[in-house]
Structure 1
């Protein structure tokens, strides 16, 4: 099972990814984690990434794709894997298609968590109020302005992946506003349909 999650920040992708990873015993591959471990392992691509990051620049699509390509060769990815934070753009999605094709593998499904973004903003504001009320410190990036900026970036860069995967017949929509258990059950239903196909 090879799959990707799409959805704006705060949609619950991380929560569901963790549940699927545990249920199917497949790794959840986060771009950030893969970058850090490639740098720590001093792989060829890791060294390139470190040089770019040390210079204070963003790592290029080629480097990220190279790190993904190396990581999915590892044994724990044989039964499948879940990509978290990659691809973020259509260019990266095209790179992923080439990487998988080159390894004789293919994507099984792309799950889009559909959410009401204004409700997400309300959820965030409630969380901030509850954190303050509990006398705890609110994370610096936990504010409405930052969150709306992240939503804007998502719409500009990542949302174009929705029609891209829709055209390939890989996109399945999931109601991300339901409870964690209900979302999980809906995803299980999609997996059962895929097994029948």
Structure 2
């Protein structure tokens, strides 16, 4: 099964993608994790994207598409995968469609976590506080960066819902439920 998980920053995509990956026994491919690893390792891509990520901006499409294309071609992704944080733009979605079509594959379902923006701010600031306590603070877990990321999301990522709805692939889930209820709702959407 090949899935895309959509949602605004702080909507719970990472948490739910990890749960789904475990439940479905397929890899979770998080572009955010891949890019943060590239930054921490000082790779050429990491160097190019570090400043943009710290400002809360989206990473250029060509870099993200290249990373994702490589990851979905790996042996552990042959039986399926969950894309978490990709695509973020319609341009990226059409590039993904082209990559999959070349391999005679397709996306099976797109799941969207719908969460109110005021709740997102609270979640991000709580996540930042917890990360500081645990020594894993992210540079983009600030109110200013979140506001910029939400603006980017509304302008560039939100149109993906219409793109995938037009293909009959989109299922929206109330992301304000408890973690377990969201997980159950996602599984129900896959069974539908």
Q: TM-score range by the shorter chain?
A: 0.7 to 0.9
Q: 1:34 to 1:103 in 2, by over 3 A?
A: farther
User: Corresponding residue for 2:74?
Assistant: 74
Unaligned ranges ≥5, structure 1: 41-45
Q: 1:179 to 1:50 in 2, by over 3 A?
A: closer
User: Corresponding residue for 2:119?
Assistant: 119
User: Corresponding residue for 1:43?
Assistant: none
Contact 2:39 2:49 in 1 (8 A): no
Residues 153-191 of structure 1: CA distance to partner in whole angstroms, max 9, x if unpaired? Answer: 111111111111111111000010000010011111112
TM-score between the two structures when normalised by the length of structure 1: 0.78
Contact 1:34 1:71 in 2 (8 A): no
Whole-angstrom distance in 1 between the partners of 2:121 and 2:159: 22
Whole-angstrom distance in 2 between the partners of 1:17 and 1:88: 16
Distance apart, 1:145 and its partner CA: 3.0
Q: Indicate the structure (1 or 2) with the bigger Cα radius of gyration.
A: 1
Please, what is the CA RMSD of the aligned residues?
A: 3.3
Distance apart, 1:75 and its partner CA: 1.2
Whole-angstrom distance in 1 between the partners of 2:13 and 2:5: 6
Contact 1:6 1:112 in 2 (8 A): yes
**How many residues of Structure 1 are paired with residues of Structure 2 in the alignment?**
182
